[in-house]
Structure 1
C-alpha cells in the first residue's frame, strides 16, 4: 500500500515560488503524471516527495504517516532520472544489484531478484556488459531494472525518456506502461511531453509557474480543458484558439462567424480541435473562410492551416485533399465540440 497525500505543500526560495499550495491525494497503485513546461514546478514537487527538497509549507503523508522529516533513504521510494546515473566500472548485473547490497538485503536472494528485474526490461543478454557498451535505450532500461529490484512502495520517474530518440521513446514508453501494469506500484512520473502524459497516466496534473491548472484523466483533460493554457498544452496539434467576440449567440473574428453559441455578449476565446472541424467540399460557406497558410501531409490525413489575425488555425482534412497555399478554403466547425473561454482570465466558461 502506498497512498500519497500532498497537503497544501509549497516550495519557495526567498521571493521565488517553485510550487504553490499543491493539494492532492495519489491513490495506491495509481500512475500519476506531472506535466508542464520547464520551470513549472513538476520536478520540485517530485523532489519534495523523495525528500531531496524540503517543503517550505505543507505536509507529505505516505499511507497516513507524515514523512516530511524522513531522510530520502527512509521513504521507500525508487527514482529513475533523465540521466541514467549508472556506475561505469560495474557491469549491468552489478548495477542492478547495487541497491540490494546498499540496503543490506540477504545476498542469497540477490541473483533471483536481479534476474527477475532484468527479465522484465529484456536485459538478460546484456548483464555482462559495462554501461559504455550499451545504447541510450539499454542504459535507461538498466536504470529501470535498478529501481524495480528494490521493490519500493513508490516509483518516481523524472523525464526518463527525454534523452532517447523518437523511436526509442515509443518502445520504452510502451515498456514503462506494461511495467506499471505488471508491478502495480504507485508511480509519479514527470514530463513536459504531453503524448507521454496522455498515453501513460491514470491521471494527469498540469502545472504552470508552480500552480496546478487541472487534475483529471487524460480523456477529461483533452475533452474539457479548464483554461486556455491547458487547451494549448494538450493535443497534437494543440487546440485552436480564436480571439473574438460574441453578440446574440454569434461569434465573430477575422474570416470567422460561428452561430448558435450559448455565452454572454462580449470578448471571448473560441476553441476547437483540428479533428472537430472539416473542409467544406460542396461549394457552401463554412464558419471560417480564409486563404490557406500551409498544408502538411501526415500520411493518414492532411493538416490544413489558415491564419486569422496572427493566430494559426489547423483542421484535419482527408489525405487526398489537394490545394495550393493562398487558395481560399472554407472550414466547417462542429459547434457541439466548441469550447468557450473567458477572454481575460482564460478560464473555461459553462458547466
Structure 2
C-alpha cells in the first residue's frame, strides 16, 4: 500500500510554468482525481509521479521514500493511458500477461493472475482476440486488466474514458469505481470531466494554469467552491455567475434584486446553482424574458439573459412557456455565493 506526498513540486520549461508549487499528501488507498481544463498541469503532475517527467523542483515521496531519481519501472506504479497502448500483434491474454514477463514474475503464477485480472473487468470471453477485434470499451478494459495484473502500489489513470462514447463512459466509470473499492489501491485519476470527478473521487484537486485552486471532497467543492473558476467548472450545468454590486445588503444587477446578503458594499459576482432557484408566478428576485428552454425529462431547464451571463434554472418537468415570455425566478439568499469581482475569491465562509 502507498501514501504519496508531493512537496512543493514544480515543473518548468524555460519561463513557462506547467505546475507551480504543488503540495499535497494522498492517503493510502485514496482515490484522488486531478481535475481541470486542458493545459492546467494535471497530466504533467501525474507524469512526474510516474517518473515520465522530471520535476524541476520539490520532492515526490511514495511511502516516505523520495522517488525523484528512480526510473518509472522502480516506482511500483501502473499507468492506464487514454490511448490504451496495447500491442496489436498480441491477443488479449498476452497483452495482460506482458507486465508479468517484463518484471520476471514466476511463470507458474501467470495464468492465475491473468485470469483473475480478466475476470475483474469481464474479459474472459475475449482472451483469444487481438485488439483490432475489440470495441473501444473492451480495449480500455484490457488496459485496466494489464494494470491490475501487476498488483502495483499505485494506479495512475490518465483520461482513460475520453475515447469512449457516452454510454460506454457511464458503464466503464462504474466498473472503475467498483474496481477501486475491490482492489483498495491508491489511485490518481486525471480528467477534464467534472462528472467523472464527482462520481469517482474521495477527494478532488481542481487545477488551473498549473496552480491548485481547491482541494476537497466532491461535496465540499460542489457546495462551497473556493473561487469563481471552481464554481464555473463544477456542476452540470455550471453554477450561474452574475456580475453586479451589493448595496445595503442587497445584490443588484439588470433585472435582479436579491436582499438579505451579508457582504460589504461594492462590486461582486453572485453565484447560485440551477437547482437552488425556482420559477414562480411572480414576486421573484429575477425577472426577465425566457432566452431558451430545454426539456431534460425529469425537469425543464429555463434560461434567461442577465447582462452578459446566461442564467439557468431547473423548473418542473411540466413547465411550459415560449421563448421571450416573461418569467420570474426566486433565489433564496441562503443558496447564494459571493465572489470578489477582481480576484474571483470566495467572499465569506
TM-score class, shorter: over 0.9
- Of 289, 298, 302, the residue aligned with 1:300 is 298
Aligned-partner Cα distance in 2 for 1:210–1:160: 21
Q: Deviations over 1:97-132 (max 9, x none)?
A: 000000000000000000000000000000000000
Residue 55 (structure 1) aligns with: 55
Q: CA deviation at 1:164?
A: 0.2
Q: SS where residue 169 of structure 1 aligns?
A: helix
Q: Deviations over 1:153-197 (max 9, x none)?
A: 000000000000000000000000000000000000000000000
Residue 118 (structure 1) aligns with: 118
Q: CA deviation at 1:40?
A: 0.1
Q: SS where residue 87 of structure 2 aligns?
A: coil
- Of 306, 309, 312, the residue aligned with 2:307 is 309
- Name the count of aligned residue pairs: 349
Aligned-partner Cα distance in 2 for 1:165–1:117: 24
Residue 342 (structure 2) aligns with: 344
State how 1:31-110 maps to structure 2 within 5 Å. 31-110=31-110
Residue 284 (structure 2) aligns with: 286
State how 1:176-325 maps to structure 2 within 5 Å. 176-281=176-281, 284-325=282-323
Q: SS where residue 252 of structure 1 aligns?
A: strand
Q: SS where residue 260 of structure 1 aligns?
A: coil
Report the aligned-residue RMSD.
0.4
Q: CA deviation at 1:285?
A: 1.5
Ranges in structure 1 where 5+ consecutive residues have no aligned partner: none
| TM-score of the superposed pair, with normalisation by structure 1 | 0.99
Q: SS where residue 264 of structure 2 aligns?
A: coil
Q: CA deviation at 1:76?
A: 0.2
Aligned-partner Cα distance in 1 for 2:154–2:297: 40
The 4+ residue runs of structure 1 with deviation greater than 4 A are none
Q: CA deviation at 1:278?
A: 0.2
| TM-score of the superposed pair, with normalisation by structure 2 | 1.00
Aligned-partner Cα distance in 2 for 1:133–1:340: 53
Ranges in structure 2 where 5+ consecutive residues have no aligned partner: none
Q: CA deviation at 1:215?
A: 0.1
Q: SS where residue 330 of structure 2 aligns?
A: strand
Aligned-partner Cα distance in 2 for 1:145–1:311: 45
Aligned-partner Cα distance in 1 for 2:73–2:295: 51
Aligned-partner Cα distance in 2 for 1:266–1:338: 16
Q: Deviations over 1:38-86 (max 9, x none)?
A: 0000000000000000000000001110000000000000000000100
Q: SS where residue 155 of structure 1 aligns?
A: strand
